[in-house]
Amino acid sequence: MDQNELKKAVARAAAQYVKERLDDRMIIGVGTGSTANLFIEYLGEFRDDIYATVASSEETARRLKALGIEVMDLNAAPEVSIYVDGADEANKYLQLIKGGGGALTREKIIAAVAREFVCIADGSKMVDVLGTFPLPVEVIPMARSYVGREIVKLGGDPVYRDGCITDNGNIIIDIHNMNIVDPRTLEQQLNQITGVVTNGLFALRPADKLILGTKDGLRTLTAD
C-alpha cells in the first residue's frame, strides 16, 4: 500500500469508529489536511445520520457543507464527542506535532473541548522524538521578529512561512532543528512568548487514540 492508501485505510477506520457511536445529538469534531479530507469523504457515506460537526478550518467547513453535512459554530456546541484529525508527527505517548497546513489553533481548541481525540495517520508519521518535522507556531503579525528572537533563545531555528495567513489572520513561524525531548515543557514555553497565539505541539492535550496505517495493517494505540 502506498501512503495515500494507508491514509484512506485509517480514515475509513475512524469513520467506522464514529458511525458505531453516533446518536441523534452527537457533534463530531473534524480536522484539517489530506488525511482528514479522506475522513470527510467517508463521513459523506452516512451524512444523513450525522446531527452536526464542528470544523477546524474554513477549508474543512467548506468540504463538509459541500456534502450537505451541518457545520456548527463551536460556541453553539454544548459538547464535542469525538474529534478526528491527522498529524504531522506522533510519538508513542500520542503527543503530536500538527499545523503543517496552518490549522493548528482551531485544531487545538477543538481538541481541548472534545471528549475523545482520535488521531489518524500513516505509519511514516510515527517518530521516537518529535521535531524532525518543523514545529509550526501561529503568531500575531506585528510580533514576528520578537517571537523569532525568543525561539532562537530556546534553541530553534525560526523560519517565516512565506505567504501563509491563517484562518485567524495571523502568520506561521516554523521551528527547524529542534530535538523535542520534553514536549510538554516546550509547548508551555512557546505559548508564554508574547505574540504567540499557540504552537503545534499537542503534548499537554495529546490524542486519546492513534490509528496508524502500516504496511502490516492498522495499529491502534491508546493513551493508557
Binding residues for substrate: 32-35, 85-88, 98-101, 125
Dihedral pair phi/psi, residue 138, rounded to 5°: -90, 130
Pair 37, 13: CB distance under 8 Å: no
Q: Which is nearer to ligand R5P, 76 or 213 (CB)?
A: 213
Please report whether residue 158 would count as binding ligand R5P according to CB under 6 A: no
Residue 28 CB, nearest approach to ligand R5P (Å): 16
Q: Has 150 been annotated as catalytic?
A: no
Q: Which is nearer to ligand R5P, 85 or 174 (CB)?
A: 85
Place of cell 475512524: 14
Please report whether residue 104 would count as binding ligand R5P according to CB under 6 A: yes
Cα–Cα separations (whole angstroms), residue 83 to 12, 26, 79, 119, 190: 15, 11, 11, 8, 24
All residues at 6 or more sequence positions from 34 whose CB lies less than 8 Å from its CB, including other chains: 7, 86
Determine the residue with CB nearest ligand R5P: 33
Residue 95 CB, nearest approach to ligand R5P (Å): 14
Among 100, 131, 156, 183, binds ligand R5P (CB under 6 A): 100
* Closest by CA position to 164, among listed 134, 141, 198, 145: 141
Interior/surface letters 94-107, b for 16+ CB within 10 angstroms, e for the rest: bbbbbbbbbbbbbb
Please report whether residue 81 would count as binding ligand R5P according to CB under 6 A: no
Q: Which stretch binds ligand R5P (CB under 6 A): 22-30, 103-111, 154-162, 173-181?
A: 103-111
The sheet that has 171-176: what strands, in order across it? 157-160, 171-176, 135-139, 196-199
Binding mask 6-45 for ligand R5P (x = CB under 6 A): -------------------------xxxxxx---------
Please report whether residue 114 would count as binding ligand R5P according to CB under 6 A: no
Catalytically active residues are 107
